[in-house]
A and B are shown apart, each in its own frame.
Chain A
Amino acid sequence: MTTALAQKKKVRINGCVASAQAAKYADVDVITAYPIRPYTATMIALAQMVANGELDAEYIVADSEHSQLSIAHGASSSGARVFTGSSGVGVQFAYELYSPISGTRMPVQMMIADRTLDPPGDFGSEHTDALSTRDMGWLMGWACDAQEAFDNHLLGYRIGEDRRVLLPQMVCQDGFFVSHITTDVELPDTGQVREFLPDYKHPYPLDPRRPVSHGPQIMPEQGPPLQLERARAMEGAVPVIEQAHEEFARIFGRRYDPWIEEYMTGDAEVVFFLQGAHGVTARYAIQHMRQRGAKVGLVRLKTIRPYPTDRVKDVLGRFAVVGVIETNLGLGSVSSGGVLYAEACAALYESAQRPLVVSFMAGMGGEAIVLKEFYWMTQKMLEAKKRGKIEKRTHWVGFED
C-alpha cells in the first residue's frame, strides 16, 4: 500500500510529548493518570488533547498509581486500548498489579520516564524504578531519544496486542535526558498508523454477550501450566517483535534492530554495554576517544524483556572487554553494583569466547555521564585487556582515582 506521505510532519517536541502523541496516534480509549515527575508532562499533554477534542478517550485522574494500574487492568480486560504511565516511586506504588495484568494477559501499555527512587528521590533518571519490575511478565525496553520513544509506543501496542503475545508493555525512556529534551520528531500519517496498528480485540473480554471468568482462584497444581503459558508468551514474542520491526520499517521508513544497536564496533576491542539515553552521549564520547586511537565501541540493549540472550552472547563475545554501564541499583547483587551485569554475564556463560566483563556505576542519581568519565572507564577497560584480568567487578565512577 502506498501511504499518504504528505501527511507526515516534523515537529520539535520532548520525549514526554512524543509519548503523548503516540498515544493519540494509537487512538487509545482509556488513559489513567497520577502526577509524578518527570512523566507527568505526558499526561499534561494528553489532558489537553482530550480537552480540545483531538483525542476521544476517557481521561481518568486516579487516586494513586495502584488505582491507575488497576483501572488500566479493568479497562483492558473489557476490550479498551489503555495508556498509563509513571516514574520512580510511582512505578513501585503500583507493584502489586504488574503480575495480575500480565497473568490475565492484558496488553496494557505503560510509559515510564525514569526517576530515582527514594532516596535520593531527585528528579534524575535511574532505571531502578522500571527494572525492579523486569520479571513480572511485561515486555520492556528503553528508547534513547524522543523519536525512538514515539516509535516504541506504536511498536509496543502492535506487539503486545498480537494474539500470539497478549502481554503488557513498559515503554521506557530516561527521565530528563529523553523526557525533557526537545528534538525533532517525525509524526506519521494517521493512515500509516492504521495500517501498522489494527484495532485492539482481546479474544476474551468482559462482555455480557459472551460471559467469561477472568483470574479465578486455582489449586496449586493448576498454577504451573499458567506460569508456563506466560513464559511461552514471552518467548513467543520474539518472532512477533522481529516481524513488527520489519513492518514498521516498511510502513514508516525507519529501520531498527529490535534487540541491539551497535556503534563503531567493527574493529572495537572494548565496548560499553548500556540501555537508554546515555547511548547518545556514549556515541559522541566514542568518536572523541577514537580520534585519539582508542578502539572502543558501543552495544546498546534495546529490549530487555524478552532478553535477547543469544544476540547478547554472540555480539558481546566478539570483544576483549565489556564495560556494563548500569544506571540502576542492585544492592548486594552478584557484582554488588547494578543488575545488568549479571544478565550479560549469564548470557556470555555459554560463549566459547568470553570477554572480561566489568560493571560501571555511572549516571547514578540522574547525573550526565561526562566525557572525562567515558575516558576513565575506557582506560579501565584497556588496562584490563592488557592485564588479561579485571581490577574489580564494580567501579563506582567518580569515587575512585
Chain B
Amino acid sequence: MPAIKVERQMLPMFASPNQGARFYNPELPQTEPFVPGHRTCAGCGPSIQYRMTSKAAGDNTILVGPTGCMYVANSSYLCTPYNVPWAHTQIGSAGSFTAGVAAAYEAMIRKGKWKGPFPNIICEAGDGSASDIGLASISGALYRNHDCLIICYDNEQYANTGIQASSRTPYGGMTTFSPPGKMVPEAKSLYPKDLARMMAAGHPHCYVATASVGYPIDLMNKVRKGLNHKGAAYIMIYTPCQKGFVYETPRSIDLGRLVVECGLYPMWEWDPEKRKFDYSFRPQNMRPVSEYLKLQGRFGHLHAEHVATMQKFANMQWKMMGVELPDALVRAADVKNVRDMGAAQAAEAVALTV
C-alpha cells in the first residue's frame, strides 16, 4: 500500500504585545484542555503554565506527564484535569515515551491506520525529570527529531517529593537536600545547570526557547512556534512553586516577571533555521536581584555577600544577552553596597513602624 502523506497543523501567532501580563486578550481560544478542580497548591506556577500551554495547543493534542507535581497533584483516579488524551510515564521516560507517541502517529497515519492531521504531542516534564533523571531520554527525542514539544516546567527543585535540590536549583536556594548551616551558609553552593542552552547547543536543528509564566502571550506564542516547527522543540519555562519558594501565593505572576527583570532568567529563542540565539526580548524594567530574592523564604538565610554573588551572576547573564549594565547593577554586585542597601532598607522599615 502506498504511504499516506502526513498532514501537519499550523497554529497562528497571537498578535498582542509580548509584555502584557494582566489584561483580557480576546484572541485567546475558548478551549480549556486543562480544567480547574485539581489538587495543586494555590498559585501553583506549573499549573498556570499548564493551562496556558494546553490552551495554546488546542484540542488535537496529546499530553505526556512524567512523574512530578503535574502528574501527582493533577491526576487522581477517575478524576483528571486533562480534557485531551494524557498518559503518565516514568520520571526518567519523559522524552522516550513522548517519542513513542510521535513515532506511533507517524506510522499509523502513513499506513492508513489513523486518519487526521498529526496531533500536537506535548510532554510536561519537571526540572528534576528534565535536567537530571530524564535528561538522556529528552536528548534522545530531540536528537532524533520526533515531531513533538518537550516542556520543562522549571520550578527549580524536586517539588513533589517535598522540595529537594535539582540541577536547576539556583545558587543560594534552600531545599531539604540543600539546607543552610555553619559549613554552607549559602545553602545551595552550585549554580544551576544551563539546561535550555545545553539543549539548543546539542540539538541545533530543534526550536528551543525559554519562557516565564510572567509573560503569558510570549509563552503561548513560543508554544505555538514549537508545535509548528516540524520536528522536535524544547521550551524551559519558569514556574514558581510557593511550597518550595515560600512566598505569598497571589505573587506567582509577579515572580515570573521579577525573575526576568532581575536577569536571573534570560529569555531567548534559538532559531534552528538561522542557527542563532535571539536575545531581543527586553523586560520593561531592570532591577537588582534583591528585589526578587526578598519575596522568597528559600533565600531568607542569605548574607550580603551571597546576594552580591548572585548579582554578579545576573550581571553576567545580562552581558551574555548583549545588554548594557546600568551603574546601579554594577554597584549591587559589590558586597559593601549590598550591606548599605540592606541598612538603608532596614532604616526605612524602622522609620515606617515608628
Binding site for B on A (CB under 8 A): 29-30, 32, 56-58, 60-64, 66-68, 70-80, 82, 96-97, 100, 104, 199, 205-219, 222
Contact = CB atoms under 8 A, between A and B. Distances in A.
A138 B50 CA distance: 34
| Secondary structure class of chain A's binding surface, majority of residues | mixed
Nearest to B137: A67
A74 B107 contact: no
Contacts of A32: 100
B23 interface: no
A199 B113 contact: yes
B74 to A, nearest CB: 8
Interface string B58-93: 011110100000011001111110111111111011
Max chain B C-beta neighbours (<10 A), residue from A57, A63, A213: A213
A30 B103 contact: yes
A208 B60 contact: yes
Contacts of A100: 88-90
Given A56-B3, A219-B77, A71 B85 contact: no
B96 A62 contact: yes
Max chain A C-beta neighbours (<10 A), residue from B79, B97, B98, B111: B97
Interface residues of B, number: 50
A74 B141 CA distance: 12
Contacts of B88: 100, 214-217
A219 B104 contact: no
Contact of A74 (B3, B101, B110, B136): B101
B129 to A, nearest CB: 12
A218 to B, nearest CB: 4
A64 B86 contact: no
Given A56-B110, A217-B77, A75 B62 contact: no
Contact of B96 (A70, A77, A211): A70
Nearest to B86: A213
A82 B107 CA distance: 11
Contacts of B106: 58
9 contacts: A60-B103, A74-B101, A80-B104, A97-B90, A100-B90, A206-B85, A211-B83, A212-B86, A213-B85
Contact of B77 (A58, A72, A216): A216
A208 B64 CA distance: 13
Contact of A70 (B60, B83, B100): B100
A29 B86 CA distance: 21
A252 B86 CA distance: 40
A60 B111 contact: no
Interface string B108-141: 1011011010010000000000000000110110
